[in-house]
Amino acid sequence: MKSIKTLAFGLFVVLFLSFSQTEAEAHSPDLHEGSTGQGVTELQSTLQKLGYLQVNPTGYYGSLTKTAVSQFQRDFNVPSTGYTGSLTRSKLDQVKMMARVVHGEARGESYKGQVGVAAVILNRMDSNQFPNSAYNVIFQRNAFTAVNDGQYWLAPNASAYQAVRDAYLGWDPSGGATYYYNPAGVSDKWIYSRTVITKIGKHYFAK
């Protein structure tokens, strides 16, 4: 069994790396039609995983990328400018964090189950019982096993990204749940006091 000091240090590293990544992305330059480089490649990769870009990343911000960015902005309630200003970068960062949780927590579940996990994060953000930002919901102490055990840092696949997108677009197979758990992995029996709404795969979704 890992010591409390080891677990605490691991959580500190996760939080530090996530904060550093968020800060770096917040100060990234705007990308627009005509831009080139690694930043464009990473943007295109994310848009491709989300299903907005149907071609492989090229590193050049052309008309196809502009159209994909505009569609992303419309779906995620960001002004549709076609370039990546600070609001768009912040939303993309939020999507990436959520995709990491979905992949870490539910990559073995059905697509419906993955959307359910993404919906729980959004439901927590909308609830006055939880923090109101994706970062603070995800990194709330002991909120998600994937953060505690490091699976959060696995690279999310397209399914995880698209599950986040569909949850944002209003699909909530969890039925409004703010909790979910797999009974086989429960260590804190407190979770059984929550009212179960539905079951998807191995996860019970509850309020």
> What CATH number does domain 4-30+85-174 carry, 2.130.10.10, 3.10.290.10, 1.10.10.2520, 1.10.3720.10?
1.10.10.2520
Mean pLDDT over residues 14-34, rounded?
66
Mean pLDDT, rounded, of the chain? 90
CA 124 to chain centre: 13
Q: Check residues 27 and 100 and name the one with the higher pLDDT.
A: 100
Asked if pLDDT for residue 37 goes beyond 80, the answer is yes
Cβ-contact 172, 120 below 8 angstroms:
no
Tokens found for residue 190: 């407190």
Cβ-contact 79, 73 below 8 angstroms:
yes
Domain spans, the chain: 4-30+85-174
Find, among 20, 5, 26, the residue nearest to 153 by Cα.
20
SS3 91: helix
Q: What is the pLDDT of residues 168-180, one digit of tens each?
A: 999 999 999 999 9
**Predicted local confidence at residue 16, as pLDDT:** 53
Cβ-contact 205, 167 below 8 angstroms:
no
**Predicted local confidence at residue 6, as pLDDT:** 45
